[in-house]
Each structure stands twice: as C-alpha cells, then as structure tokens.
Amino acid sequence: MANIPIWPGSSSFQPGDTPFGFYDNDPEFQKDADKFAKFAAQRLGYPLVDIELQKFNFYTALEDAITVYANELYAYKVRDNYLTLEGANAAKLDMEETIVVPNLGRIIQMAEQYGVEAGTGGNVDWHKGYVNLTASVQDYNLEDWAEENIPHYKKHDIEIMRVFYESPPAIVKFFDPYVGTGEGVMNMMDTFGWGNYSPAINFVLMPLNYDLQVIQQIEMSDTIRRSNYSFEMHNNHLRIFAIPDGTVDKMYFEYILGSERSDASFIIGETSAIANIYDVPYKNPNYDKINSVGRSWIFEYALAICKEMLGYVRGKYDTVPIPNDTVKLNQSDLITAATSEKERLIDRLRAYLGETSREKLLERRAAESDFIQKELSNVPFPIYIG
C-alpha cells in the first residue's frame, strides 16, 4: 500500500484546492482556509496524535460549511419573502444586494377568487345570456341552452351566477297623495329643476324615512298578498315563479365557465419569472461579507465535518497492531460526536434565523412598545397652570 502523506502541521492554500471552487478567489477565504486547517487539526489532537487527513480535507470541510450556512440562510429568506418574490423577474434581481419590501400584490391575486364568486371583480369573466320564456312553462334546462349557444362547450361547465328575474321596483307603484295639490307645488319643483324626480314632492314635504316605509310596505305586500317573482336553480335547471303568462318574452342571466375558472389559477409568465422556490436567484455568498457570528458557526460546523471524515478514515481499520498489543481507534466516537454536533448547529442556526423573521421582529417591537408605555406610566405628569 502506498505511503499516503497526512497532515504535516501546516499548509498553503491555492485556488483550485477545493472541489467546487466557490470561494477560492476570495482573499478572506484564502487566509482563513489555512488558519482553519490549523485550528481543526489542533482541535482533533494534533500534534499529540497524528491526524489522518490532508489539507484538501480541511479546505473541503470549510467550503461545505459555508455552503450549508448559506443554504440555511437563503432558505429562511425565501420562506419569509416568497409571497412577494413569486412572479417577479428573476433576471432583474440581485438577491444578495436586494432588500425585499413586502407588498400586497400576491395576496390581492389570491383574494381575487372571492371577488369572482361575489360578483365584485376577480379574474374570471362573467358572460351574459338569455332564454326565451314560453307561456305556462316554468322549467328551463340551461345546460341544453349552453350546448346550443356556447362554442366548444363541455358538459356541466356552465355555472349560473345571477338571474335577472325580479318584480318591478316598488317606486313605480308609489302613490303620493300630495302630488297635484297645494300652492302650485309641482310648478315650484319644476322651477328648481326637481320636477323629473319621482316622487318629487317628497323632497319638500315628507322626510326620507316616510318614503322608505312606503317602499317597504309595497314590497312586503307583493311578497305576502301576491305571487311574488322568484326562481329556483338546481343543477342548471331553472324553475321560475310565477308561471309565465307571456307578458315577458326573455329572461337574462349571467354565468361563468368552470374551465375558465380553472385556467385563471395558472399564470404563464416570462421564462425568467419566479414560479418555484428554486427559481429565486440566490447565489453563493461573498465570504468576505459574512460577519464574525456567521464565521464562528461555519468554523464549528466545518470542524464537525472534519471529525466525521477522520472517523470514516479511522474506521477502515478498527484496531492497529503494535508490538505485543493492539490499539483500538476511536472511529465510532468521532462519527457519533460529529453527527450530534452537526444536528445541534443546524438547530441553533434555524432557531436564530427564526427569531429574526419579520413576524418575530414585529412581535418583539410590539412587546417593547408595551413595556415602554408601562414604564412611562410611572413617570409623574406635570400640572400646568395657565
């Protein structure tokens, strides 16, 4: 077996010594690579024991740790801002240098579905149609109407949203006992340009609540004493009341198509639009911009990776023979410790990032405001005598 050299006690980093070279040309990374190699080797027991690693292993661990740190950081940023980022043009964004300001654009888009159902807007067109009424016929199948009148219609695709079948408004039956009486009142209303209002006289002689009560009385009378205008709709089968007598020849309605509602759920944007979390254009970080808090975490995580690598190397031989005895290597201890430390560091980083989320920061600001108000309430208020 070839005599493979191990860690000699020092190293000199050169660009190209890491597997991916993400940070090789960063002067800060170049300086820290050799410092970390010495730090990790000494933490693993050098020079009291040999460390069966080479400089490339230390550099790889450092590069891996930086990338894991950036992955956790950017994943948190994507989660915190995705509602704002979705649909944006990724080609125009430099996420490492961009401050994301939340907006209501995507929330409004999500709420448009409610506007469709309420008939107050939304992203699905309402279409208009009508059926010809036949005297003495109450029931009309709007599914049959759709198949005859909508090109390329798919069965059960129509959904009726509104039927224009109402009794005449109460105002046309409004009787005003004062019209035509008094001191030339109608002439007076015409003089002021109010003569076209109906009932015009009430602008002068009666309060508005009187008009409302009369209108309500007329509507209630039509509902109870007469066969009121109404309809039922079940599975696109329309039944109208009262039975048509031939005085009305058409009944209009508004509808939407279920296929158009489904199509409205998919927005086909530019090829560079952010449609998934992997579209968010985060790149590998600039190592020189990572502060001391981040670098400390990176060094600890890289050390755990080195422990893991050393454990696998020593695991090739469980024991090493020496004169008159054998030496048992600590492979299992290294791998167990490395796994535990990596999990602990990831959990710590996620907890830290979670505490700095927009939601948590706003909660903390609100709590601080409450505490300040309580503190200020203990300050005596001066009394000013003017």
96-117 residue pLDDT tens: 888 888 888 888 888 888 888 8
Phi, psi of 58 (to 5 degrees): -65, -45
Are 189 and 320 part of one and the same domain?
no
Tell me which of 241, 263, 285 is where a domain ends: 263
Tell me which of 216, 240, 263 is where a domain ends: 263
Residue 148 vs residue 207, higher pLDDT: 148
Are 288 and 357 part of one and the same domain?
yes
Query: How many separate domains does the chain show?
Result: 2
pLDDT surpasses 80 at 207: no
Helical H runs in the chain?
27-43, 55-85, 105-118, 142-149, 185-191, 208-225, 258-263, 292-314, 331-355, 358-376
pLDDT surpasses 70 at 193: no
Are 297 and 227 part of one and the same domain?
no
Q: Do the domain assignments include residue 171?
A: yes
pLDDT surpasses 70 at 373: yes
Are 251 and 320 part of one and the same domain?
no
Are 182 and 256 part of one and the same domain?
yes
Which of 202-206, 288-292, 377-381 bottoms out in mean pLDDT, i.e. has the lowest? Answer: 202-206
Q: Concatenate the DSSP letters of all residues of 25-53 into one string.
A: T-HHHHHHHHHHHHHHHHHTTTTTS----
pLDDT value of position 297? 97
Give every strand in the sheet of 158-164, ordered side by side: 127-132, 250-257, 158-164
Are 71 and 170 part of one and the same domain?
no
pLDDT value of position 204? 56
Closest CA to 162 of 127, 205, 190: 127
C-alpha 265/C-alpha 126 separation (Å) is 16
Tell me which of 204, 229, 263 is where a domain ends: 263
Are 158 and 84 part of one and the same domain?
no
C-alpha 354/C-alpha 230 separation (Å) is 56
pLDDT value of position 202? 47
Q: Do the domain assignments include residue 160?
A: yes
Phi, psi of 121 (to 5 degrees): 145, -140
Q: In terms of residue numbers, what domain contains 334? A: 27-101+276-376
Q: Do the domain assignments include residue 82?
A: yes
Percentage of the chain exceeding pLDDT 90: 41
Per the CB < 8 A criterion, the answer to whether 126 and 256 are in contact is: yes
pLDDT-derived band at 205, boundaries 50, 70, 90? low
Q: Do the domain assignments include residue 111?
A: no
Query: pLDDT for 159-178, tens place per residue?
Result: 999 998 877 777 776 665 55
Helix, strand, coil share (%) of the chain residues, nearest 5: 50, 10, 40
Mean pLDDT, all residues of the chain: 85
Are 247 and 359 part of one and the same domain?
no
Q: Do the domain assignments include residue 269?
A: no
- Give the mean model confidence (pLDDT) for residues 364-368: 89
- Give the mean model confidence (pLDDT) for residues 192-205: 55
Query: pLDDT for 44-61, tens place per residue?
Result: 999 998 899 999 999 999
pLDDT-derived band at 269, boundaries 50, 70, 90? low
- Give the mean model confidence (pLDDT) for residues 198-211: 64
C-alpha 96/C-alpha 73 separation (Å) is 11
91-95, 209-213, 343-347 — which one is most confidently predicted on average?
A: 343-347
Per the CB < 8 A criterion, the answer to whether 16 and 24 are in contact is: yes
pLDDT value of position 200? 47
Are 169 and 299 part of one and the same domain?
no
Kindly report the CA angle at 13 between 345 and 68, in degrees rounded to 5? 25
Q: Do the domain assignments include residue 210?
A: yes
Read off the amino acid at residue 209.
Answer: N
Report yes or no on whether pTM surpasses 0.75. no
pLDDT value of position 212? 86
DSSP 70: H
Are 167 and 294 part of one and the same domain?
no
Q: Do the domain assignments include residue 10?
A: no
C-alpha 376/C-alpha 381 separation (Å) is 10
Are 256 and 286 part of one and the same domain?
no
Classify residue 279 as exposed, middle or buried by CB count within 10 Å of its CB (0-12, 13-18, 19+): middle
Residue 312 DSSP SS3: helix
Q: Do the domain assignments include residue 64?
A: yes
Which residues lie below 8 Å from residue 69, measured CB to CB, with a gap of 6+?
Answer: 285, 290, 294, 297, 298, 301, 349
Are 292 and 353 part of one and the same domain?
yes
